[in-house]
Structures are given as structure tokens and as C-alpha cells.
Chain A
């Protein structure tokens, strides 16, 4: 299991569109992907889970990934966040 803390920057919040992009990408990995924000832990492959976190610009959250492709998943998702959720 690996985890990494990130802060949302560059976009207003993890709104419908960016959350959609995130979940789509996350769903492609075999690993279990969780997001911890405050004391709420949600499934990173669940759009509704992500939305209920209400992550706005400047919010800190943690990616917790475990499974066979965890390294690759972490790298891909972190890059997506750094790209401000723009598709490549």
C-alpha cells in the first residue's frame, strides 16, 4: 500500500467534469484506490464518493492505493491532478 498527500490547485474544485475524468482514469487500474479527506474515506473509483468530499481549491487530501499496479496508478493520478485534470 502506498499513500501520498496532495493539495488541489489550479482548478476551483473537484467538480463534475474533473471528478469524472479522475474516476474514469482510476477505474482502469486493478488496485484499490481510496481517497481520504479530513476524516472521510471514499472509493476513488466512485464519482459520488468523490463528490461527497466537496474538495475545493486549496483542500488537502490523501490518495491511498493498494494492489499490483499501485505505483503506476499513483503516478498517473498525481500527474492528472498536476495537469489540472485536463485530458492528455
Chain B
């Protein structure tokens, strides 16, 4: 048995897979030009047409399957492939080429080459990359001309881990349900086709491994750890046992959590909480629904500014918000206005701002937006326009006092007036909240709560700023403590301030996603939680295991505790009592 090898890639879809490797090798057709005598051309054309027909049948046969397996969105992608197959390039140009006296394979090969060349000239990356889809359709026809060259996913009838250069939409058409344990690919990132597909199917995947296909052989034992982005080939008995155990635990938990999806986030004594989710991009909205999130409590909009060289247009903003608003109906989606620093804006050709020495405390978030109202208005206009098509809310990040909140609202009012005059519809009553993540805002939350429609506590920054701890700095990370008495006091202050003004208080920081803190938070009176989509079920389970009265007692107890150690002790004891 050969030695154990380990690879690290991008964790694209969570979960653990263990199984034999099935290598899906790159197809390399060796196409030779053969002269076809005039008398044989007719026959050659009909041979090509037959291959086209077979490809057609193949696609047709799997199209309904993809609808039921992956949903309508993918179904339409499968349709797009069929439309490519119907293209005059395949129906007319290739046949014309064959008529000039060459074999079908060579004619197809040459025409494909031309198409790919013309696609390479396209500036827009999305369109340029579509050549892979077209090549894929070409290969399917070629396969029917030459005969099977490549192993296809359709041949798989036992549980395996698929190792491939890349996974294309067409590959997925032929999957037999339940046979594929996981995907391991050379190419791709977190949003590549393989990643989205695996997430949709709930199959673990590690992508972006560069050239794992060159080093793995079919039949080798593989462990795929989609949680950490690790692939282990030929694991030792010990590692294998460990992972098998972990996989069993994972399976059991996910089955339990699945059952929770359609149940309310409600305590044993019947108090309901809203359990929403945080997202970083529109694609994640479907994950929220899958995990049973009731809305989006934090839609981060920074993604619009990454990986590009210019500022996003109003329409780009609009399209992204509208999509999520519609998808999430009847639930609410809270869009957080952009929280980026000046350096980012400068690099996108916006205002010319010099780099700052301490950007965390610099011109960022609402400060930047207030300084450059025209820049801010682009986003506000887009959010308002999208609010006509769903239930949206707005919240401002990095508010340090009520003045900033009011100033932002004045700009919002201007934009609303402008839209009214242009007769563009929007939600007149769109709720507007303040993120409470700066200690000065927490201390004056009562004043802000009178002006805002809701408060949303961002614990990551609040803790960091209150304790003066950079939590990614290893030297001080142990001082970062969500249960520090100062934090508990601030939380209580914020929640009480909200309630006194008759406003809801929600939390969207990581503290909300840690089940160890859930009891304390509902005990303190928090109304809503917003957590990463995969954390929704476990927080729901925790809420469902609690009694509100007990949680309130706990909050009271620890609130008067003299030290952090005692607080931690008390929470531990509480959890033992509850289970």
C-alpha cells in the first residue's frame, strides 16, 4: 500500500466523505483528418447527424431528472445546454465542413476550434468562460462519434469520491443518486460550479487543489474533509477510524437538525424568537432557507466592492438586493450599508483617499458614507428601489452616536424624495436601524433607540473595542471574552434601551451563533438572532431546549457575579441542569 498523502484546498461544501477515488480524467480526443470521397459524404453527414441525435436524446433523458434533483434553476441551465446543441454552428457549419470532404470528427474539431477562438477575444470574463460550456457540448457529440473515451459520472454505481480536473454542468446531468460521496477538484473556488453544485446536493467538496488529479489513482482510499478543506489519500487505519467516527456523529446531528428546520425557534414555555441568518452574497440566500432561517438579519454588501477595478453601479446594487428580497419573501432582509475603508474606495477609482495608520478606527462605514453623500446615495437608492419587491430593512454600520444616525437618515430622506418625484416605487415604511458595535453607541443606546426602528448588536466589534483587544492577534486573543462583565452590562443596557423605546433588539455578531451564550442572551431579553446559515439549526435547538424563566434567572445570576470565572461556572452548571 502506498504512503499517506495530504492536500489542502478550498473547503467548498461542508461534510466528510470517505471512499474510493474515482478519477474522472480529462478528455483528450486525438482527432485525425481523413479525406472523405464525394460518394461517401452523404453517409458521413448522416453519421454526424446520428451523433447529434444521440446527444439530444441523452440530454433530453436527463433533463427532467436534473429538475427534480437540483431544482428549476439548474433545470434551466440544462435547457441552455440543449439550446447550444441546437445551434446553427453544430447543425449547419459542421455539416458544411463535412461536405467539403473531411470526416465528421475533424469537421467538428475545426469548427469548435474557431468558436473557442472567437470566445477568447471577449473582454467580459463571464462570457469568455462560457467557451467551456460550448466545448463541453462539442465533446458530448464527439463522444458519440468516436465512442466512449472518458469515464463518465453515469458509469458510477458504487459509492466513490470523484476526483476531477473540474466538474461541469453537463457532468452533473448523469449522476446516479446516492453514488457520489464527495467532489475533489483541481480547479474552482468557493463560488465555482462544482462548489455550488455540491452545496445544492449537500455533498462535501474540496476544490482548488491545483493538480491532485495527477497524483491520485482510481481505487485509492480517500478522506475528504469539506469542513477544513483537507484531502487525505491512503490514510492510516488510525486516521480512517477517527474520520469514520466523526462522520457518524455528523450524520446523526444533521439528521436531527434536518427535523428542526420547519419548527419554530421557541422556548419550552412557548416564547417565540426570530432566528434569521447573515449572508455575504446573494447566492447564500438559498442556504438560509435550507437551514430554516426566518429572514436575513445582516446582508453584508462589501462583496459588491471586491475583485473589481471600478465602483459598482446603482443597477448592480439593485439587482443583488432585489434578488434576495424576492427569494426571501415573506421574510425580512436587513441590508447593511457598506462597511469598507477609504483605501478600498480609492483603489476602485473613487475618491482619492490616502491610506490610514489605523483603518479599524478610521474613515469607514457610516463615517465614509456621510463624508461622501453622493457615493452613499447610490446604495441607498438601490436599496429603496428593491424595497418595492420584498420586505427590506436598512441598517447603518459603525454608528458612534445619534448625530450620525440622524445625518444618515437625512440623506435617506433626500433619496426618498427624489424617488417620489421620479415616481419610482419603494417601501415608504422601510425600517431603518442602527448597528450598535461602538461602545459610545452602546452607552447612548437609549437616545439612538428613540430615533431608530430597531437596534442590531454587532458583538465582534463591540467586544473588540470595549476590551481593546484585536481578536486576530494571537498574543491577546485569550483576553477576547464575550462574557466579560463589561460586555454583559453593555448588552443589558442596549437591550433595555431598545425595549424602553418600544423597539426590537437583534444581535448579528458571532456571539449570537454560539449556543453557550443563547440562554444568557434570551435571559437578557434579546428579541432576534441573526447567525451564519449553518448555525441556524443548532441555535434553534438550543432555544427549543430552554425555559425562558430559567434563562432569565441565569442572566440575573451572572449579572451580579463578581468575576468572569464564576460566570463561566454558572453557565456550565445551568446547562447541566437543563439537560
Q: Which residues of A contact B (CB under 8 A)?
A: 9-13, 15-17, 19-21, 23-24, 27, 43, 45-49, 51-52, 54, 56-58
Contacts and interface: CB of A to CB of B under 8 A. Distances in A.
B414 interface: no
Given A21-B76, A49-B87, 16 more contacts: A11-B319, A12-B319, A13-B124, A15-B126, A19-B80, A24-B83, A45-B88, A47-B83, A47-B87, A48-B89, A48-B115, A52-B127, A54-B128, A57-B313, A57-B316, A58-B315
Which of B77, B80, B319: most chain A Cβ within 10 A?
B80
B315 A46 contact: no
Contact of A16 (B89, B115, B133): B133
B84 interface: yes
A24 B83 CA distance: 7
Contacts of A45: 88
Nearest to B127: A54
A58 B313 contact: yes
Given A45-B88, A46-B89, A48-B87, A20 B124 contact: no
Nearest to A23: B83
Interface string B121-154: 0111011101001100000000000000000000
Contacts of A20: 76, 79-80, 82-84
B124 A56 contact: yes
A60 to B, nearest CB: 14
Interface residues of B, number: 27
Contacts of A57: 313, 315-316, 319
Given A20-B76, A52-B122, A43 B83 contact: no
B119 A52 contact: yes
Interface of B: 76-77, 79-80, 82-84, 86-89, 115, 118-119, 122-124, 126-128, 130, 133-134, 313, 315-316, 319
B576 to A, nearest CB: 52
A21 B124 CA distance: 21
Contacts of A9: 315
Contacts of B77: 16-17
Contacts of B80: 16-17, 19-20, 47
B300 to A, nearest CB: 19
B353 to A, nearest CB: 27
Contacts of A56: 124, 126
B134 A48 contact: yes
A21 B78 CA distance: 11
Contacts of B126: 12-13, 15, 56
A49 B127 CA distance: 11
Which of A16, A17, A23: most chain B Cβ within 10 A?
A16
A46 B319 contact: no
Contacts of B315: 9-10, 57-58
Please give me the 5 A-B residue pairs with the lowest Cβ-Cβ distance, nearest first.
A20-B80, A54-B127, A20-B83, A54-B124, A16-B80
A27 B86 contact: yes
Contacts of B115: 48
Nearest to B79: A20
Contacts of A46: 87-89
6 contacts: A12-B126, A13-B124, A15-B127, A20-B83, A47-B84, A51-B134
Nearest to A9: B315
Given A13-B127, A17-B77, A51 B319 contact: no
Contact of B123 (A24, A48, A54, A58): A54
Given A15-B126, A48-B134, A51-B119, A43 B88 contact: yes
